[in-house]
Amino acid sequence: MITNQENTILDDKFRALAADNAPGQEVRQSIKDLETIMIGDKLEGLPVDFSHGDVDAFPPTPNSDKIWKEGFEDGGAQAYTEYRGALQIRNLIAKKLEEFTAQPIAADTELIITPGTQGALFLALGATVTNGTKVAVVEPDYFANRKLVKFFGGDVVPIPLNYLETPSQNGLDLNALEAAFKNNTEVLVFSTPNNPTGLVYSNDMINKIAVLANIYDVTVIVDQLYSRMLYSNETYTHIRACKVRPNNLITIMGPSKTESLSGYRLGAAFGTSKIIDRMERLQAIVSLRAAGYNQAVLKTWFNEPKGWMKNRICEHEIIRDKLLDIFKSAQLQVATPQAGSYLFPKLPPLRIDLNTFVRLLRYQAKVTVTPASEFAPQLNDSIRLNFSQDHDKAIAAATRIVKMVEIYKI
Amino acid sequence: MITNQENTILDDKFRALAADNAPGQEVRQSIKDLETIMIGDKLEGLPVDFSHGDVDAFPPTPNSDKIWKEGFEDGGAQAYTEYRGALQIRNLIAKKLEEFTAQPIAADTELIITPGTQGALFLALGATVTNGTKVAVVEPDYFANRKLVKFFGGDVVPIPLNYLETPSQNGLDLNALEAAFKNNTEVLVFSTPNNPTGLVYSNDMINKIAVLANIYDVTVIVDQLYSRMLYSNETYTHIRACKVRPNNLITIMGPSKTESLSGYRLGAAFGTSKIIDRMERLQAIVSLRAAGYNQAVLKTWFNEPKGWMKNRICEHEIIRDKLLDIFKSAQLQVATPQAGSYLFPKLPPLRIDLNTFVRLLRYQAKVTVTPASEFAPQLNDSIRLNFSQDHDKAIAAATRIVKMVEIYKI
């Protein structure tokens, strides 16, 4: 017999996981009320879905399908790997990630291959958060972080992020962070480059976070998904390479974004072996392993043809700069992304709420974006664009966003 | 600062998820003490890993790689599907599963594509179990069921399964089940054909379970992973096709076993839309979706070349019968699997404990099996074999198991 109390608990738990506005889920939204709200006519143009990157405009790393086929032909050995992934492939990518982050990684004990970086985040938080665990979550930051903490029964301790100030003023609020750590926060999860703003935490700030985490013995989970797509004149600091480090640290990366390999669902988490161990135990009951044949595609990671990555970054930088021009010319406040392919322009006050504006953007202007509220619950004045898109279509769509702002602003 | 209490809770939680004896994880076991325990010499023969099927001996459905390649070439649309899977593919398999289970399925609301049936089980239990939820778990049954219930904070209510009796005596203990239901059990999870015994629940029993679940409003999650591999003269009953049905019912299937597509990590769950909704919300934070390109391979499912499935079942039936002969000739008690490729022979009393025997089997006789304790915590006298293996190697390995029993029996 179902007790009403537990059913309510489950209802609440899953209400907190509502995914209707999540990137890619827009097809499940109703549009029937929009005709009555819409002002003016539909705007002409080709549809652009800024909710995620367009892997047709920026296709996967060359030969990923050929390497996949080799994995398939390896048969059983590649179909049934250890839950943490095939050792041979862990050996390969551990070396590459070691070079990239300038710190050693033991492939056997300190690394797990996961179903995407989403899978890595799920496992890392599942391994460190239980009922009542206080978790510092940066706002704004990747939309799933907050949901994951709540799902595992933890309490979110929000840490504000400045991203529209000068470089020296930007970054998370270190005083708020230390106060949270003093007040028994046990885990910090954050992304750098930050999703949705493209802010790269400075060397100074990363070192200060590492020292605080070390002093207060806080576990740090850092999502570095976009760290390879670093723009001109920017520098990147890996927290795992800091002189003073957190005692428990997991770094998460994957080839879904810059490398456009999202269709394979591959990621990697590396760091403290005790947490990696727990993550594997959890992976065993979640989906056993990242799809076996797909794991082989990690052989292409950090192993792209010469010049390929440089070119890819350059092409994104061009689009970034054009979109920044368009938004800034329209007097929209927007930070310059230092890495990654997210733009997070702030909108002026509108005569409709943000979710309605986002739905209208899709219906009236054929532009799909993600509302700020996905990244910080109180934030309702910004939209996120993943500008890893066809150059011309992206520029035309950004122009339509500006027109829509003109139509609906107060 | 980490509080000791919560750290202990997490330690306990992950101790319950220990995966060292789980199928496929044997490479992580230490073997250093075995030399001193071993009696006699190593047994000659080719290694056989009965912990899972051998997809080199029984290769994937023809052309799965070609269909995968078509999915890859579809690009972005196939890389970024809805979290519940691409609608076009859900439409296709909903029709096939409708035919197979003789009950309609609404592809838009009643079906989700998952990363393997393991992924489906995780999502289904995550959607229905929270702290304090009582869940009826059959013993023996698939090893992850118990772990999943505990991970989500539920309480396992064990329901004994008879599988070494006559057909009319076999099946779960209906009195224990009704007592559990009366005592506020809210969820029942079970597999049919049963993993590890190969028992197919009778039509009569499935109908009785359905009626009880209906009366006591218990949510039923049924794992039918192996239901396509049904041996001569056996009949199968889908609980979703019963006249009286549970109000909340999720059926789980997938192409990992009979079809040898495990390397793609694909599964499907179908049934009550409210639960499917929750499962998608959970999938969104677990790993977003089953790997996009891989989803395309579901087009081959229930769509195999003519005669292929019949032949595959027939080849397994031949191996089943030979292994049954070998074990029965050695006076081992063993049930005849009615479907699937698991055999679960009972061993006589041994002079070493079951886990040591299993490790010795691997070290001394090059045979990997899974100990009974993975399927029922108190059961320590049986081993599970997945006999989806090369015919000759499997027979030789079964003969070595019998020799090992002779060596180590009291």
For A248-259, what is the mean pLDDT? 97
Measure the CA angle with vertex B106, ends B252 and B293; round to 5°: 65
Q: Tokens for A372?
A: 């700020």
B115 reaches A (C-beta below 8 A): yes
What gap in Å lies between CA A51 and CA A386, rounded to an integer?
A: 6
Average pLDDT value over all residues in chain A: 95
A30 reaches B (C-beta below 8 A): no
- Which residues touch A70 (CB under 8 Å, ≥6 apart)? A296
B-chain residues within 8 Å CB-CB of A259?
A: none
For A397-401, what is the mean pLDDT? 98
Q: What is the pLDDT of residue B4?
A: 62
Q: Indicate yes or no: CB of B285 within 8 angstroms of CB of A118.
A: yes
B-chain residues within 8 Å CB-CB of A68?
A: 68, 72
Tens of pLDDT, residue by residue over B77-117, are 999 999 999 999 999 999 999 999 999 999 999 999 999 99
Q: CA–CA distance from A162 to each of A74, A139, A323, A372 (Å)?
A: 49, 9, 21, 15
Is it the case that residue B1 has pLDDT exceeding 60?
Answer: no
- Which residues touch B66 (CB under 8 Å, ≥6 apart)? none
What gap in Å lies between CA B177 and CA B83, rounded to an integer?
A: 35
- Residue type (1 letter), B10: L
What gap in Å lies between CA A53 and CA A199, rounded to an integer?
A: 18
Tens of pLDDT, residue by residue over B63-88, are 999 999 999 999 999 999 999 999 99
Q: What is the pLDDT of residue A3?
A: 58
More reliable by pLDDT, A15 or B120: B120
Q: What is the pLDDT of residue A16?
A: 84
User: Can you list the pairs that B214-218 forms with residues at least 24 positions away whose Cβ atoms lie under 8 Å?
Assistant: B214/B244, B214/B245, B214/B246, B214/B247, B215/B181, B216/A1, B216/B178, B216/B181, B216/B182, B216/B185, B217/A1, B217/A2, B217/B247, B217/B248, B218/A1, B218/A2, B218/B136, B218/B181, B218/B185, B218/B186, B218/B187, B218/B188, B218/B246, B218/B248
What gap in Å lies between CA A114 and CA A280, rounded to an integer?
A: 9
Picking from A22-26, B8-12, B107-111, B136-140, which range would have the lowest pLDDT averaged per residue?
A22-26
Q: What is the pLDDT of residue A20?
A: 75
For A386-392, what is the mean pLDDT? 98
What gap in Å lies between CA B371 and CA B20, rounded to an integer?
A: 11
A262 reaches B (C-beta below 8 A): yes
How many CB atoms neighbour CB B219 within 10 A? 26
Task: Give the pairing of strands B187-191 and B134-139.
Answer: parallel
What gap in Å lies between CA B39 and CA B391, rounded to an integer?
A: 28
Picking from A24-28, B13-17, B87-91, which range would have the lowest pLDDT averaged per residue?
A24-28
CA distance to partner chain A, nearest, from residue B32 (Å): 18
Q: Tokens for B3?
A: 């509080």
Q: Indicate yes or no: CB of A284 within 8 angstroms of CB of B114.
A: no
- Which residues touch A91 (CB under 8 Å, ≥6 apart)? A107
Share of chain B above pLDDT 70, in %: 98
Q: Indicate yes or no: CB of B287 within 8 angstroms of CB of A292.
A: no
ipTM for the assembly: 0.96
CA distance to partner chain B, nearest, from residue A261 (Å): 8
The residue of chain A with its CA nearest to that of B144 is A285
Q: CA–CA distance from A282 to each of A176, A276, B265 (Å)?
A: 32, 10, 16
Q: Indicate yes or no: CB of B14 within 8 angstroms of CB of A264.
A: no
Is it the case that residue B2 has pLDDT exceeding 60?
Answer: no
83-112 in A: which are within 8 Å (CB) of B?
Answer: 83
- Residue type (1 letter), B378: Q
- Which residues touch A174 (CB under 8 Å, ≥6 apart)? A205, A208, A209, A212
The residue of chain B with its CA nearest to that of A295 is B263
* pTM (predicted TM-score): 0.96
What gap in Å lies between CA A401 and CA A326, rounded to an integer?
A: 10
Q: Indicate yes or no: CB of A287 within 8 angstroms of CB of B119.
A: yes
Tens of pLDDT, residue by residue over A151-187, are 999 999 999 999 999 999 999 999 999 999 999 999 9
CA distance to partner chain A, nearest, from residue B82 (Å): 6
Backbone angles phi, psi at A298, to 5 degrees: -65, -15
- The DSSP output letter for A221 is E
The residue of chain A with its CA nearest to that of B23 is A82
Backbone angles phi, psi at B63, to 5 degrees: 70, 10
Q: CA–CA distance from B267 to each of A374, B2, B85, B248 (Å)?
A: 29, 38, 11, 20
Helices (H), B102-243: 116-126, 143-151, 174-182, 203-216
Is it the case that residue B38 has pLDDT exceeding 60?
Answer: yes
Domains of chain A: 18-49+307-408 (3.90.1150.10), 64-300 (3.40.640.10)
A-chain residues within 8 Å CB-CB of B59?
A: 75
In terms of Cα–Cα distance, which of A260, A156, A295, A287 is closest to B287? Answer: A287
What gap in Å lies between CA B188 and CA B250, rounded to an integer?
A: 11
Strand partners of residue A4: none
Q: Indicate yes or no: CB of B287 within 8 angstroms of CB of A13.
A: no
- Residue type (1 letter), B209: I
The residue of chain B with its CA nearest to that of A149 is B285
The residue of chain B with its CA nearest to that of A282 is B17
A-chain residues within 8 Å CB-CB of B116?
A: 287-288
329-388 in A: which are within 8 Å (CB) of B?
Answer: none
For B262-278, what is the mean pLDDT? 98
What gap in Å lies between CA A24 and CA A116, rounded to an integer?
A: 16
The CA-based dihedral angle spanning residues B386, B388, B393, B394, taken in that order and rounded to the nearest 10 degrees:
40
Q: Indicate yes or no: CB of A6 within 8 angstroms of CB of B132.
A: yes
Q: Indicate yes or no: CB of B184 within 8 angstroms of CB of A3.
A: yes
* pLDDT interval class at B61 (50, 70, 90): very high
Query: Burial level of A96, CB count in 10 A (0-12/13-18/19+)?
Result: middle
Backbone angles phi, psi at B184, to 5 degrees: 70, 25
Q: What is the pLDDT of residue B22?
A: 75
What gap in Å lies between CA A173 and CA A298, rounded to an integer?
A: 36
Residue with tokens 């292929």: B308
Tens of pLDDT, residue by residue over A72-92, are 999 999 999 999 999 999 999
How many CB atoms neighbour CB A130 within 10 A? 18
What gap in Å lies between CA A137 and CA A153, rounded to an integer?
A: 14
CB-nearest to B293 from A131, A133, A263 is A263
